[in-house]
């Protein structure tokens, strides 16, 4: 029994070489599929990175965000009609299953796809630790209280990170992933007209950027709920102020320059300067 328990402990350790013998072509398959999806829609890199991030904040990185269950994580406030990339993960999973059936977890596929999404947009690479097991529980309620929101205060964000073993340095560095991707008007229009019920815009936002966003996302809620919903789904780059020649899907440190220049898009980004 003691030997068996030691064996279990060894098997539970994550390692970059977990599938070296059982699925040696795994990394090539995932990379090819991520590149294919990216060249079809460059926004997909940010979507896959976000999908992994949202998965990890609920019961760990267990792939439970992928489960199609009633009241599952897909239907939480942060994910419903917002989180994307499920069809790409399905495509990767089919290709992996064809190569090595019943071996690779969906949780590991999400982790590899997130890394490849950063690399393909010009960011750093790292060895992905593998050997996760897929979860079988997916909870909308758990996701609602666990996933950091665009509207969260700094204290709430730090608290949610701490609950999954991450510190303030992780808050800052992982927020930098907002150097790529798009955000819907619904995620930041709280800053444009009536910030914190003051009747005025958020004074911490750059005035020129504020004016541009007000044109993109006009305040029409008092006229038509349908029109308000339609405008809420309009999108703009999270990094709206990339230098000329640097598209908003380049993974660089310009996000942090935006913060210092009062050009962060989301409340949850700008509050990083409030402490």
Residues annotated as part of the active site: 54
Report in angstroms the alpha-carbon separations of 199 from 194, 202, 219: 4, 10, 12
Closest-CA residue to 183 (of 89, 94, 267): 267
**165-177 in b/e burial notation, b at 16+ Cβ within 10 A?**
ebeeeebeeebbb
Q: Are 108 and 39 in contact (CB under 8 A)?
A: no
Q: Residue 114 contacts by C-beta under 8 Å, 6 or more apart in sequence?
A: 48, 49, 51, 52, 53
């Amino acid at each position: 029994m003691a030997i068996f328990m030691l064996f279990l402990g060894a098997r539970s350790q994550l390692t970059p070489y977990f599938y070296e013998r059982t699925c040696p072509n795994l990394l090539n398959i995932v990379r090819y599929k991520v590149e294919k999806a990216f060249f079809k829609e460059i926004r997909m890199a940010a979507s896959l990175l976000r999908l992994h991030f949202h998965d990890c904040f609920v019961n760990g990185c267990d792939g439970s965000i992928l489960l199609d269950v009633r009241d599952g994580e897909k239907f939480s406030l942060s994910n419903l009609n917002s989180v994307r990339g499920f069809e790409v993960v399905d495509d990767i999973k089919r290709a992996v299953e064809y190569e090595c059936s019943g071996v690779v977890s969906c949780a590991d596929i999400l982790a590899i796809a997130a890394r490849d999404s950063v690399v393909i947009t010009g960011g750093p690479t790292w060895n992905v630790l593998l050997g996760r097991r897929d979860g079988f529980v997916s909870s909308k309620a758990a996701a609602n209280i666990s996933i950091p929101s665009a509207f969260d205060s700094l204290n709430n964000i730090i608290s949610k990170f701490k609950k999954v073993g991450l510190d303030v340095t992780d808050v800052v560095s992982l927020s930098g992933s907002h150097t790529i991707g798009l955000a819907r008007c619904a995620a930041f229009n709280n800053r444009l007209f009536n910030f914190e019920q003051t009747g005025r815009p958020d004074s911490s936002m750059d005035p020129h950027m504020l004016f541009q966003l007000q044109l993109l996302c006009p305040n029409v809620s008092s006229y038509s709920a349908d029109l308000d919903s339609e405008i809420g789904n309009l999108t703009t780059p999270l990094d709206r102020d990339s230098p000329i020649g640097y598209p908003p899907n380049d993974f660089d440190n310009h996000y942090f320059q935006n913060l210092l220049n009062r050009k962060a898009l989301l409340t949850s980004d700008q509050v990083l300067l409030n402490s």
